[in-house]
């Protein structure tokens, strides 16, 4: 236990410094937690957007496949061939 005034002052200063460091550490941990939450939200938003785009692409692919199957059935039923086989010729 400190017994002189100088020792008491030194002890008080070191206690204040430790307390200040603890306060700074708490603030830093709070900022870190907020940043982590913000990044998690961004990642979730990106995943949601990717899932929506993937679903749109799959729906379009299904529509295109259905359209191709309908055209193929039409050509088979009529016994004709498509007039334009390749777009580059």
- Check the CA dihedral 47-52-55-57 and report its sign: negative
Q: Given pLDDT bands bounded at 50, 70 and 90, which one contains residue 79?
A: confident
Both structure tokens of 50: 């990717």
Distance CA 2, CA 8 (A): 6
Distance CA 82, CA 53 (A): 32
Q: Identify the DSSP state of 33.
A: H
- The pLDDT tens digits of the residues spanning 18-59 come to 999 999 999 999 999 999 999 999 999 999 999 999 999 999
């Amino acid at each position: 236990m400190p017994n002189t005034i100088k020792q008491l002052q030194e002890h008080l200063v070191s206690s204040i410094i430790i307390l200040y460091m603890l306060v700074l550490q708490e603030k830093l941990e709070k900022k870190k937690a907020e940043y982590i939450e913000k990044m998690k939200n961004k990642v979730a938003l990106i995943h949601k957007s990717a899932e929506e785009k993937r679903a749109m692409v799959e729906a379009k692919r299904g529509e295109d496949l259905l359209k191709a199957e309908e055209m193929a059935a039409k050509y088979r039923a009529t016994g004709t061939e498509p007039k334009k086989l390749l777009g580059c010729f």
